[in-house]
Chain A
């Protein structure tokens, strides 16, 4: 059922004299990582289906600087931030949706002090809104109907920005059985990727964090571990492989689940 996705860049839109309602900030993982690119495409399919007039920055997009800042490199962070702010302000961007909680947090909280003021939402918040407006529907729950799903809270969406309900509201639309892990919401355990850990080996310990977290998820006996972050997705996928459960348990982004259930 897949129709080719329609993506316009900001420069194409401006050249055609159009203004997008919202800028889709894809992020580095969403642009380059093979697994995360699937999430990006799922988000675009949903945006296309709902006729949301959006644009991406394409090659004008650059790392937000999140991993640099968390790793203590404030210089590099601010260089990235100011470059991005010049581009965003140059296009007079007002509203941004991100496919990654780290980009979301940085754009929303750390750009204003450097001159970048935008309304920033995470893609699960946009999905919640699209459902509310009736722009997207899932007939009969789709293929996840009755299945057990557990949601892993990304730290930078949950604790960092107090967004706990939007992803769960969206998952409710799948008519599935949503089960919580013993550590969830404010008490959710990190997947192990935050704070620039994604890009380095962990310090010496007796366990990998993603293995500890995957145990929580597997305990729920869910069919799907839902995520809202490309890094959590990688960590949980690796965790499931660690337990050789990749044939029984899927790790999927909420956007992918919605796109699949709505048969987009």
Chain B
């Protein structure tokens, strides 16, 4: 064990600690949301997770992207098996510790990884072209201005570099010969010492790159590789048309409709601080809504299928998810700095999402249907509407009229309820 092994171990431990700190931050932000019980139907939940997250069933509706994504996904999982060897080599100071015990199987497996690595790099290059050469409309949206656009490119370029490092490392190893990298050998120096330096550099670049990537995740849209699993597990299993029932309202309505209710009776104590109707800020959303935001990889399938967005309205379900994440990070950081009761005076409604966006939704569920990881932007939009209507009475004037009609005429239009059956007597 030399100095480089100690250095490696330190980097590994440091990266692990940093990653743990950042993920705990994400978890504490998710916990800023309201409680919601999704502990039911365990077996359905496991099945959904296996089908949607592991099996990527919802990607299939766009086959070209699905195949490319599958390559990167398979590459990510399988090539990372090699990480085990890299880590052992790094700590103990061995060189390809599995090569001897596995024999020809080792060659087979690394050959397989090399083919995958080339495919992953190619897929990433195609993704880069799709994003940067205006090939796909949903990647040109104003939602992705600034960091979001750079984030995507950064991830893709990093992947290509990591895969290249892996191949160069193998090519520069005079003790080994693998299916892809052997073709690179003639391009490299024949001098053993130079080869050794190239091999070591590529090895270090790869492992440090991977550890850096790991710590970039919590800041990136790429975090979906982790949250896709719990997100699909806890996803809504009810029919999409069913909106949640607000228990707090039910209590009041029941009291209102009960002729025997004593208006002067003491109200049963409600635990904790009184909650808002609907959501004004991320703390009024459920932890599922916030986890949804952290799971979002900003692919924009939701927005590209949203009837309001397609016809030029401001609403973009993807932007709603990005806003929730940006806001919860901002508020979470402020609370960690200034204490749990701190509030910075900003809100999700108004400072991030405008009324115009909130009212443009047709509740058609296209965004929910499209999301490959079962994110539900509609649930958030409806809670924002509930806040606007029930707390602020801020709603389009026609909708206020509609509500009055329902109250007075039992229909959204101003017809007399006595005329409801007239159709039966009309020719």
Q: How far is the CA of A76 from the CA of B396 in the complex (A)?
A: 16
For B426, what are the chain A residues with a Cβ–Cβ distance below 8 Å?
37
Nearest CB on B from A225, distance (A): 17
- With known contacts A109-B242, A186-B369, A201-B396, A72–B308 Cβ distance under 8 A: no
Nearest CB on A from B293, distance (A): 20
- With known contacts A76-B406, A195-B363, A82–B417 Cβ distance under 8 A: no
* B361 and chain A: residue at smallest CB distance: A195
For B61, what are the chain A residues with a Cβ–Cβ distance below 8 Å?
186-187
Q: How far is the CA of A88 from the CA of B346 in the complex (A)?
A: 46
Nearest CB on A from B417, distance (A): 6
Chain B CB within 8 A of A62 CB: yes
Nearest CB on A from B63, distance (A): 14
- With known contacts A71-B403, A195-B363, A207–B311 Cβ distance under 8 A: yes
Chain B CB within 8 A of A206 CB: yes
For B238, what are the chain A residues with a Cβ–Cβ distance below 8 Å?
109
For A41, what are the chain B residues with a Cβ–Cβ distance below 8 Å?
423
Chain A CB within 8 A of B410 CB: yes
Chain A CB within 8 A of B341 CB: no
Chain A CB within 8 A of B348 CB: no
Q: How many residues of A contact B (CB 8 A)?
A: 72
- Counted as pairs of residues, one from A and one from B, with CB atoms less than 8 Å apart, the total is 217
B387-410 with Cβ < 8 A to chain A:
387-390, 395-396, 398-399, 401-403, 406-407, 410
Asked if residues A195 and B420 are in contact (CB atoms below 8 Å), the reply is no
The contact string, 1 if C-beta is below 8 Å from chain A, for chain B 16-31, is: 0000000000000000
Q: How far is the CA of A198 from the CA of B411 in the complex (A)?
A: 13
Asked if residues B311 and A206 are in contact (CB atoms below 8 Å), the reply is yes
Contact of A114 among B245, B256, B390, B413 (CB under 8 A): B245
Asked if residues B410 and A63 are in contact (CB atoms below 8 Å), the reply is yes
For A26, what are the chain B residues with a Cβ–Cβ distance below 8 Å?
420, 423
Asked if residues A190 and B407 are in contact (CB atoms below 8 Å), the reply is no
Asked if residues A59 and B418 are in contact (CB atoms below 8 Å), the reply is yes
For B158, what are the chain A residues with a Cβ–Cβ distance below 8 Å?
none
Q: How far is the CA of A253 from the CA of B364 in the complex (A)?
A: 20
- With known contacts A74-B246, A159-B369, A189–B307 Cβ distance under 8 A: yes
* A44 and chain B: residue at smallest CB distance: B424
Asked if residues A67 and B245 are in contact (CB atoms below 8 Å), the reply is no
Nearest CB on A from B129, distance (A): 25
Chain B CB within 8 A of A255 CB: no
Asked if residues A65 and B382 are in contact (CB atoms below 8 Å), the reply is no
Q: How far is the CA of A148 from the CA of B390 in the complex (A)?
A: 47
Chain A CB within 8 A of B266 CB: no
For A205, what are the chain B residues with a Cβ–Cβ distance below 8 Å?
308, 311-313, 360
Chain A CB within 8 A of B174 CB: no
Chain A CB within 8 A of B365 CB: yes
Nearest CB on A from B387, distance (A): 8
Q: How far is the CA of A194 from the CA of B257 in the complex (A)?
A: 29
- With known contacts A31-B421, A59-B418, A82-B257, A207–B243 Cβ distance under 8 A: no
Q: How far is the CA of A65 from the CA of B245 in the complex (A)?
A: 13
- With known contacts A28-B413, A37-B426, A59-B420, A201–B398 Cβ distance under 8 A: yes
Q: How far is the CA of A114 from the CA of B243 in the complex (A)?
A: 13
26 example contacts (A-B, Cβ-Cβ < 8 A) are as follows A7-B421, A26-B420, A58-B424, A59-B420, A62-B417, A63-B411, A63-B412, A71-B402, A75-B253, A78-B245, A80-B406, A82-B254, A105-B241, A155-B362, A159-B368, A160-B241, A161-B239, A186-B61, A189-B364, A195-B361, A199-B401, A203-B308, A203-B313, A204-B356, A205-B313, A206-B311
Q: B residues engaging A (CB < 8 A)?
A: 61, 238-243, 245-246, 249-250, 252-254, 256-257, 277-278, 305, 307-308, 310-315, 356, 359-366, 368-369, 382, 384-390, 395-396, 398-399, 401-403, 406-407, 410-413, 415, 417-424, 426
